[in-house]
Amino acid sequence: MLNRTRSADLDALRLLDDRLRWLSAWTIHNANHLRESTDGLKVGGHQASCASMTAIMAALYFHALGPNDKVAVKPHAGPVLHAIHYLLGSQSREQLENFRGFGGMQSYPSRTKDRIPVDFSTGSVGLGVAITAFASLIQDYLLAHGLMQPEEAGRMVALMGDAELDEGNIYECLIEAYKHDIRNCWWIVDYNRQSLDATTADRMFSRFDEIFASCGWRVVTLKYGKRLEAAFTEEGGEALKRWIDECGNADYAALTYLGGAAWRERLLKDAPACAPILDARDDDALAALMTNLGGHDMEALVEAFDTAQDDVPTLFIAYTIKGQGLPFAGHKDNHAGLMNPGQIAALREKMGIAQGEEWEPYAGLGDNSAEAARMLVERSGVAKVKRERPWNVAEVPFIPAPAGDEQSTQAAFGKILLDLSRAGGALADRIVTTSPDVTVSTNLGAWVNQRGLFRRSELADVFAAAKIPSAQKWGGHQAGQHIELGIAENNLFLMLAALGLAGDVFGERLFPIGTVYDPFIARGLDALNYACYQDARFMLVATPSGVTLGPEGGAHQSINPPLIALGQPGLRHYEPAFVDELALLMEEGFRLMQADDGESVYLRLTTRTIRQVERTDDSWKAGAIQGGYWLREPAPGAEAALVYCGAIAPEALAAWEALKDDVPGLGLLAITSPDLLHRGWSARRSGRWAGKGAEPSHVETLLAPLSRDAGLVTLLDGSPAALSWLGGVLGHRISPLGLDRFGQTGSLEDLYRHYRLDVDAIVEAAAELFLD
């Protein structure tokens, strides 16, 4: 028997369930039917998807969550999250009224664009689920390194629709989570059995228990509400339970939509033994009974959450009705369905809400009921304001370039990290490296030798213990600073996202560095975009790149990553040719990762060893950080310039030497960031169009000394389009060289000749410009 306090809280939670259902539905209705439309487009929203989640979210936010718990909310339940914060007082009516409007609450929860505290952005299906597992690992990392106290730890929670379980990244994450023995993680499935296009397949769902249990998860299934469980004890109850368990998802949804009379007719036909249960109820009571599933039953939800208070990762499968309590509950087309004015008016009347009081937080409740609901909301332990972001937590030391006349940028990257590790300090102690099984081949090995693998429990280096010689001496322990991943690029970028949000989520900023082969950025592109959208800060080192990889062949030779970088907000692409450029740009990257107006950094490196250039001063550095500088200054009014980016520098230099006597004043322009130059140029044009009178962009300043009729030969081991836009800056003629076909195996000499990246190709391209 429930005690009186418990019973009162459950009653209050049921009232809050109703309030969340109403406020989310009304917010969406207002945006689509009441707010003035200037373009005639449907605003949208997901009233049915919200309604299936309101009980779960009421029980979670107003009962189960503590102040340190973090939640990734099902994208289509975003309006419910905002309704919760409206009741908490941390969201305004104006924001609700401007749902999906400019500057208003976003369609899906957004950490950066919503005003309420959003722990993890969601929207790209499945990624918001998976990031919580990596966040739980990062929390353990911070605890192990003394950057958090145990009492500051919380639970990482993901709310998902059952259709999200079709997403492969969830299972990639599940495997990685098992390897790292994650804890303090809840995934709650809104099992309403309806997706955008279809009803969820029946046969697959029985396998989820096995899949998760095999990976160390506890599985809690909330199928029946308390009223249904009580009915199963009545005469005919066994027959009713057997029929429900055997009923297909599509049938259950259709009967829900049709209502009590349809339930009665079908049950009498299929399971006549349950007639006593039917005879004891009218149609409305029967419909209420048959939709009393575990995900809508407050007592069942509270019990389930209360019995999972240890740190075992737990999957809750909560059976629900899509559109519960709304007129299109169960209808197969309800995913994007919207109530019409008559239907919303009927719902308002049913809930006892007076016209004109639709936005009142506790409208329709009596004084005592409203006070009980309000008191429960006030006792909620969830965060009501956004956490202040920690900036500039570590001074970035001067990073010297590794010594050596001939070096590759990839090898130099490893040396720089090794030197940082040996020097120690706040920056080195907060660097966390990670890689999808390419740690050695991307030159992280020396760093790992120094700093170790992160493991919650000791992991001995068996080869070292057996005295087997190896360059890799990797022990795993709680002080380790490298998190090794399997070959799944989605997991790499989700890990970088979680690491890059450590300051925002946990209050302690880390400096994540992830390495991957350049062509395989594309395999995790959705997760990379997701990380950048949240303004996670990290350094992505993609190496090796281009056909410069040589004998490895086309499957490992990248073409389009520079174009990906050009179009990816929140990620600055640098492609240094020389190791002093790399050292400088890594310095800049560490500053950007912790700056208020900063961003993440992508370094595109190669294994090609090239002769380093001699510097007479540091005047090149400012230009390199801005995206480019003249390695060989052009004469005023020069008729041509060679423009290169990255490891193709030796060919560009050799071509410049071959052409300089025939083309007086020929310039040689080193591009360190096509992305940054393009951004500056675009911003300049936007500012000009807006009448702001912006200063010339860096690329305009660089190209200004050239004649307006000058020709540019651009050279890049990647898509030529990444540099060909330079011709549009000041109207110069251009001949772009680069890759527009898949590579193949071969020596660099053969590959550069075949793909027109060699000296002869550059000279020919310059000659063609003058002939034209």
Residue 4: is its pLDDT beyond 90? no
* DSSP code, position 634: P
- Record the tokens describing residue 643, joined without a space: 């423009």
> Please, what is the Cα angle at 764 between 763 and 767, to 5 degrees?
90
- What mean pLDDT value characterizes the chain? 93
Distance, first Cα to last Cα, the chain? 92
Buried b / exposed e over 84-93, threshold 16 CB at 10 Å, is: bbbbbebbbe
- Record the tokens describing residue 389, joined without a space: 């972001």
What does DSSP say about strands 511-516 and 431-436: parallel, antiparallel, or unpaired? Answer: parallel
* DSSP code, position 63: I
**Helix, strand or coil, per DSSP, at residue 554:** helix
Predicted confidence at residue 120, as pLDDT, reads 96
> Please, what is the Cα angle at 249 between 243 and 250, to 5 degrees?
110
Mean pLDDT across the stretch 277-291?
96
pLDDT band, very low/low/confident/very high, at 201 (cuts 50, 70, 90): low
Predicted confidence at residue 193, as pLDDT, reads 80
Query: What distance in Å separates the CA atoms of residue 70 and residue 380, rounded to the nearest whole number?
Result: 14
Predicted confidence at residue 460, as pLDDT, reads 79
Nearest C-alpha neighbor of 189 from the set 220, 154, 229? 220
Residue 549: is its pLDDT beyond 60? yes
Query: What distance in Å separates the CA atoms of residue 217 and residue 129, rounded to the nearest whole number?
Result: 15
Write down the residue that tokens 């500051």 correspond to: 152
Residue 569: is its pLDDT beyond 90? yes
In what helix (H) or strand (E) does residue 317 lie, and over which residues does it extend? strand 314-319
Which range has the worst mean pLDDT, 209-223, 283-297, 546-560, 667-681?
546-560
pLDDT band, very low/low/confident/very high, at 467 (cuts 50, 70, 90): confident
Which range has the worst mean pLDDT, 187-191, 200-204, 422-426, 487-491?
200-204
SS3 content of the chain, % helix, strand, coil (to 5): 50, 10, 40
Instruction: Quote the radius of gyration of the chain (alpha carbons, Å).
Output: 30
Helix residue ranges, H only, 607-697: 620-626, 649-659, 674-689
Mean pLDDT across the stretch 84-108?
95
Query: What distance in Å separates the CA atoms of residue 99 and residue 323, rounded to the nearest whole number?
Result: 20
Strand partners, 600: 571
Give the CA-trace dihedral at 755, 757, 760, 763, to 10 degrees.
120
In percent, the amount of the chain with pLDDT more than 70 equals 97
Predicted confidence at residue 457, as pLDDT, reads 84
Mean pLDDT across the stretch 237-248?
94
Higher pLDDT, 686 or 67: 67
Residue 1: is its pLDDT beyond 60? no
In percent, the amount of the chain with pLDDT more than 90 equals 84
Nearest C-alpha neighbor of 471 from the set 443, 495, 499, 496? 443
- Record the tokens describing residue 56, joined without a space: 């779960």
329, exposed or middle or buried, with CB in 10 Å at 0-12, 13-18, 19+?
buried
Write down the residue that tokens 């409740």 correspond to: 365
CB-CB contact of 310 with 183 (8 Å): no
Strand partners, 194: 199
Nearest C-alpha neighbor of 413 from the set 611, 587, 648, 594? 587
**Helix, strand or coil, per DSSP, at residue 531:** helix
Residue 200: is its pLDDT beyond 90? no
Nearest C-alpha neighbor of 520 from the set 580, 442, 462, 448? 442
Mean pLDDT across the stretch 726-739?
96
Strand partners, 486: none
CB-CB contact of 86 with 472 (8 Å): no
**0.85 surpassed by pTM:** yes
Query: What distance in Å separates the CA atoms of residue 77 and residue 323, rounded to the nearest whole number?
Result: 12
* DSSP code, position 522: G
pLDDT tens digits for 612-640? 999 999 999 999 999 999 999 999 999 99
Which range has the worst mean pLDDT, 137-141, 460-464, 493-497, 588-592?
460-464
Predicted confidence at residue 199, as pLDDT, reads 62
* DSSP code, position 108: S
Query: What distance in Å separates the CA atoms of residue 307 and residue 310, rounded to the nearest whole number?
Result: 8
Give the CA-trace dihedral at 105, 106, 110, 116, to 10 degrees.
10
Q: What residues contact 157, with CB distance under 8 A and at least 6 apart? A: 60, 65, 69, 70, 71, 72, 132, 185, 186, 187, 188
Query: What distance in Å separates the CA atoms of residue 402 and residue 421, rounded to the nearest whole number?
Result: 14
**Helix, strand or coil, per DSSP, at residue 602:** strand
**Helix, strand or coil, per DSSP, at residue 313:** coil
Which sign does the torsion angle of CA 551, 553, 556, 559 carry? positive
Residue 57: is its pLDDT beyond 50? yes
- Record the tokens describing residue 553, joined without a space: 């062949």
- Record the tokens describing residue 536, joined without a space: 């996670």
Query: What distance in Å separates the CA atoms of residue 498 and residue 432, rounded to the nearest whole number?
Result: 12
CA 95 to chain centre: 24
Which range has the worst mean pLDDT, 407-411, 475-479, 605-609?
475-479
Predicted confidence at residue 693, as pLDDT, reads 64
CA 206 to chain centre: 29
Query: What distance in Å separates the CA atoms of residue 191 and residue 74, rounded to the nearest whole number?
Result: 12
In what helix (H) or strand (E) does residue 765 lie, and over which residues does it extend? helix 759-771
Mean pLDDT across the stretch 263-268?
96
| Sheet strands side by side (includes 600-604) | 476-477, 453-454, 482-485, 431-436, 511-516, 539-542, 600-604, 571-574
Q: Which amino acid is located at 586 in the chain?
A: M
Write down the residue that tokens 């004890």 correspond to: 233
CB-CB contact of 723 with 674 (8 Å): yes
Predicted confidence at residue 203, as pLDDT, reads 64
- Record the tokens describing residue 6, joined without a space: 């418990």
CB-CB contact of 547 with 739 (8 Å): yes
